[in-house]
Chain A
């Protein structure tokens, strides 16, 4: 099975409030509230740590689940978040995005 890398999409706005991670899509203003697992995944998604390592180091100790099962669930979650353009996923490490053209709000 190939390794998967995950990175936070820099085009979203994110804040933690009262332990809840809230994310707003810069594309269509949709607001998401992440559950605990998704929050851990988001916070650890640096683009260079493989998902497998994130699961072993961060998710398994938190939820006391089997690594194989946790990785399967985390992959599904990562793909779902990528579908909402909250995360980026790749089979290669994801370099930090070079800031592009400034928007009107800057």
Chain B
């Protein structure tokens, strides 16, 4: 007689980015292995999760691939949609679900969004910037695509630990800001190290004929920072929180313009 029911084994993985453990549950061993590979260095053994997601895998092409990302909050839960995934997260219950095909990109986008939402409530943010750790201090390098984030990451000398070449993770601490390594990669396609350090400076990148650091007025610093903060939510309160967080950050962290030629000597300016 054939089995009418079969117990489905639940597999899970704890992914900790920025000190925030997120448990991902799946029933697909191959998908789990893909995630373990994708987030190697950011996987933790069993701990209590701050958020737990159940992933339901579906066939590719279940949704419109051209659809833009939409993030909205209603009745106690966040709704996240893009062409390749749908997800919900209920912060009060610390649980959510993700519906996507078996690929690492969709869940990566969900994690980025969830982290921006969680950080915004705590005075932190994700920033379009490379970041690196040297002598116990973290340095952020912000700029639009082509400004030099990948280049400066590639030029880092051996005593520099790369936190990310694309998306920096900034958390507000007691009287200071702390940058964490992330698995969110850019052109370098190299995961950051899962370490953290207090932020010593934010540099706004520009390429030029010589290496130099110029001061930036606070208003310009705030404008530049806000231009590089990742925003997803259509939520007034969170937008306002992110706005005030940016001003708080520039009041505490030195911001300067770093003009550099693409060679390793630029790192002599960061010690």
Tell whether B240 is near chain A: CB-to-CB under 8 Å. yes
Judge if A95 is at the interface, Cβ distance under 8 Å.
no
B226 within 8 A of A: yes
Is B241 an interface residue when CB atoms closer than 8 A count as contact? yes
Binary interface encoding of chain A residues 1-26 relative to chain B, with 1 for a CB under 8 A from any of its CBs, else 0: 00000000001110101101010111
Q: How far is the CB of A42 from chain B (nearest CB, A)?
A: 15
Interface size on A, residues (CB 8 A): 21
- A90 adjacent to chain B (CB < 8 Å): no
Q: Is the CB of B240 within 8 A of A105?
A: yes
Asked whether A104 and B233 contact (CB < 8 A) given A13-B244, A17-B219, A22-B219, the answer is yes
Query: Quick check: A104 and B219 within 8 Å, CB to CB?
Result: no
- State the CA gap A29–B242 with chains docked (Å): 10
Q: Nearest Cβ distance between residue A101 and chain B, in whole angstroms?
A: 10
Q: How far is the CB of A20 from chain B (nearest CB, A)?
A: 4
B4 within 8 Å of A by Cβ?
no
Q: Are A15 and B226 in contact (CB under 8 A)?
A: no
Q: Is the CB of B241 within 8 A of A105?
A: yes
Minimum CB–CB distance for B202 against chain A, Å: 15
A31 beta carbon closer than 8 Å to chain B: yes
Residues of A within 8 A of B218 (CB): 17-18
From B217, B219, B250, residue with most partner A Cβ within 10 Å? B219
CB pair A103–B226 under 8 Å, yes or no, is no
Contact partner, B235, options A12, A22, A25, A104, Cβ 8 Å: A104
Expressed in whole angstroms, the Cα–Cα distance for A29 and B243 within the complex equals 9
| A31–B223 touching, CB < 8 Å | yes
Report yes or no: B223 in contact with A102, Cβ–Cβ below 8 A.
no
User: For A33, what are the chain B residues with a Cβ–Cβ distance below 8 Å?
Assistant: 219, 223
Interface residues of B in 27-86 (CB under 8 A from A): 73, 78
Please report the C-alpha to C-alpha distance between residue A12 and residue B243 in the assembled complex, in whole angstroms: 10
Report yes or no: B78 in contact with A17, Cβ–Cβ below 8 A.
Answer: no
* A20, B218: Cα distance in complex, Å: 10
**A27 contacts partner chain B, Cβ-Cβ < 8 Å:** yes
Report yes or no: A15 in contact with B247, Cβ–Cβ below 8 A: yes
Structural contact, B240 and A17, CB atoms closer than 8 A: no
Residues of A within 8 A of B238 (CB): 103-105
Nearest opposing residue in chain A for B72, CB measure: A104
B240 adjacent to A15 (CB under 8 Å)? no
Q: Is B152 an interface residue (CB 8 A)?
A: no
Contacts known (A26-B240, A105-B237); A20 close to B219, Cβ less than 8 A = yes
Taking the closest CB of chain A, its distance from the CB of B115, in whole angstroms, is: 15
- Residue from A24, A26, A104 within 8 A of B117 (CB atoms): A104
Contact in complex: B239, A106 (CB < 8 Å):
no
Q: In the complex, what distance in Å separates the CA atom of A103 from the CA atom of B238?
A: 7
* Interface presence of B120 (CB below 8 A): yes
B121 at the interface (CB under 8 A from A): yes
Residues of B within 8 A of A12 (CB): 240
B236 part of interface (Cβ distance < 8 Å): yes
Please report the C-alpha to C-alpha distance between residue A22 and residue B218 in the assembled complex, in whole angstroms.
12
User: Interface 1/0s, chain A 37-59, versus B by CB < 8 A?
Assistant: 00000000000000000000000
Chain B residues contacting A20 (CB-CB under 8 Å) are 219
**B235-271 contacts to A (CB < 8 Å):** 235-244, 247, 250
Distance in Å from the Cβ of B122 to the closest Cβ of chain A? 10
